[in-house]
Structure 1
Amino acid sequence: MQFDAEWLLLALAPVFLACIGWEVWHLARTRPGAALYSWPDTLCNAALALMHQGADKLAWLVAIPVYAWVYHHWRIVNWQPGWAAWLTLFVAQDLLYYVFHRASHRVRWLWAAHVVHHSSGRLNLSTAFRQSLMYPVAGMWVFWIPLAVLGFTPMQIVGIVLVNLAFQFFVHTQAIGKLGWLEYVINTPSMHRVHHARNERYIDRNYAGVLAIWDRLFGSYVEEDAHEPPVYGIVKPLDSYNPLKASFHEWIAMARDCARMTDSRTRLAALFAPPDWCARHDALAMQRATDSAVTENNTEGDLGSRKT
């Protein structure tokens, strides 16, 4: 179980770049004019990746001591090196990733960071680099604490998280169709295209990291339908290639929504309820105001008729 994921990812960097080059060539040959890549979008993705990496390095300085403390004081298993330990770590982290990923779509505080990954109107391999520097602030690292309780060291935790994310690079593509029986086993490009779509039937589906089982087990799986191609991006399009705007636009919107709420309950909801809570809250308030106005007008009419 001793491996250095940092060196693994460094070794994979040219593989990632080669895959992007192949995808650009393949899509230009098979889907000419589709404009699945653009320089502004790709450069924004690259800038976001660099910002994310810098924030990630700083976050590990805080998270690793926390994992170490939990490992030394609260671990419940002492693992012997071997396949059993590695497999347990892999499956446990992948389940926790599913929990984190699903929460990131249903809790606005987490969505404020995760929305960066979904804010491009394109889906290609470079989209995998489109990550948020605000994940440490949102609390992504907290989701891996149970791994320390299970008896895994901080370096093992960091390593398996990075390996999981490295695998996910390969599912961000439109160049590969469905993969037969593998669709039942692992996260595939087809599964992940659904996840990145903003079609109503596809929104908030297919949260898998590596294993496909979690979505099927917890009812979040939807199959890609050839009759309804995915439309990529977010419900309110970002319409910007500025990496700073991509990183902070939802945090700013969330802060404004929180500030305009009138009591502590609604302020907390603006921060931690589902991302669409404020829109539904506003629509309900408008409906109540409309109903009240209609009722008042009807009452005035009734009173007027009695006076005559």
Structure 2
Amino acid sequence: MPEFPNIILYAIPFFIISMGLELYVSIKENKKSYETKDAVTSIAMGLGNVFLGFINKALILFAFMLIYENFRLFTIPFAWWSFILLSFADDFSYYWFHRISHENRLFWASHVVHHSSKHYNLSTALRQTWSGGFYSFIFWLWLPLIGFHPGMILLQMSVSLLYQFWIHTEAIDKMPKWFEAVMNTPSHHRVHHGSNPLYLDRNHAGIFIIWDKLFGTFQPEVKNEKVVYGLVSNIKTYNPLKVAFHEWMAMGKDVFSGKKSLRDRAKYIVKPPGWKHDGTGKVSNDLRKEWRESVGSIQPARAEKARSGGSAELSNKI
């Protein structure tokens, strides 16, 4: 087996230089893309993720090797074509991991960290979970089963993470149309970080946006609907410990407090964020439905505006 480098560690200087350039551009263009406390928190979360990565990657490698050595169905060689296949297989796994992380509260408890900033810049890409790495790898277990070597898988997972760094920016508006059609881009990923009802739980892609288009979760960025970053209910803290574990605490409170059936307690773990056993909660689909109904009620006025020279872009997207 070839020895693959830890490309994330090698990329750290690139991360720092890129953030410096983005900050320079934002200051020059008088954009408030960065806030000091927010950026420091994101960097702290990233450093914690790297440190814990030495532990959870040992767990992941053990699980992958266990399956590869004892249960693999085929043996896929180290070849150029196998890395092409792996890039799509890994991204397919990432799509479903990412999508479930928005639709299942157990996975959301760790993934919410990445969405907790109200700013969108390259430092936001570093705002990573401290807990998700210990169990999210289950979405990749089928890869060693079909014959991809664990070393190849870990390398491709790092490539995916590295790719997703550059798309966390407002400095790039749109890429060429052919690129936007196939690849994940800053525009597509801005939508993913939006708390607007139109944008909630959309564009889960890692590298290839084709999965969202295939499975019905794609939403283009609409000029008339500016992205509002952050959570539906923001946490209002820069404390890394609170950022890392606030949703775990909230989920635990919902599971163990109050009078509710065992079935309902379990549902607080597997149901989407926002679900409540008494029916008072609202998940993203509920919020999107309410938004569409409210926009639909004013469509005649918008249509008239469009006829008089206004834009009907938003109307065409709902």
Pairwise TM-score range, normalised by the shorter structure: 0.7 to 0.9
TM-score of the pair, normalised by structure 1: 0.87
Q: Distance in 2 between matches of 1:119 and 1:279?
A: 25
Letter in 2 for 1:152: F
**8 Å contact from structure 1 (residues 98, 209) kept in 2:** yes
Change (3 A) 1:17 1:261: farther
Q: What's the secondary structure of 2:276's corresponding residue?
A: helix
Give the superposition deviation at 1:11: 2.6
Of 30, 52, 63, which aligns to 1:55? 52
Structure richer in helix, relative to its length: 1
> CA offsets per residue over residues 28-67 of structure 1, 9 Å max, x none?
112x1x4210110111011101111122211122221111
Q: CA RMSD in A?
A: 1.6
1:43 aligns with 2:40: yes
Compare 250-259 and 81-90 and name the one that shifted more. Answer: 81-90
Q: CA deviation at 1:261?
A: 5.0
Please give the per-residue CA displacement for 1:63-118, whole angstroms capped at 9, x wherever unaligned: 21111110012212212221221111111000000000000000000000000000
Q: TM-score if structure 2 supplies the norm length?
A: 0.85
1:256-295 matches, within 5 Å, as: 256-259=253-256, 260=258, 262-278=260-276, 281-282=279-280
1:226 Cα deviation after fit: 0.7
Q: Report what 1:300 is aligned to.
A: none
1:75 aligns with 2:33: no
Query: Which residue, 177, 188, 193 being the options, matches 2:190?
Result: 193
| TM-fit CA distance, 1:212 | 1.1
Pairing partner for 1:116 from 88, 113, 118: 113
1:136-285 to 2 correspondence within 5 Å?
A: 136-137=133-134, 139-179=135-175, 180-259=177-256, 260=258, 262-278=260-276, 281-282=279-280
Residues 118-144 of structure 1 deviation map (CA, whole Å, 9 limit, x = unaligned): 00000000000000101134x111111
Show the 5 A alignment for 1:11-26.
11-26=10-25
Counterparts of 1:264 and 1:280, CA distance in 2: 14
CA contact (8 A) 2:23 2:34 kept: yes
Question: Please, which runs of 5 or more residues in structure 1 have no aligned partner?
Answer: 285-308
Unaligned runs of 5+ in 2: 283-318
Aligned-partner Cα distance in 2 for 1:157–1:60: 12
Q: Which region of structure 1 is more displaced relative to structure 2, 265-274 or 187-196?
A: 265-274
For the pair shown, the structure with the greater C-alpha radius of gyration is 1
- Which ranges of 4 or more aligned residues in structure 1 deviate by more than 3 Å? none
Distance (Å, rounded) in 1 between the aligned partners of 2:158 and 2:178: 26
Work out the number of aligned pairs and report it: 280
Aligned to 1:299: none
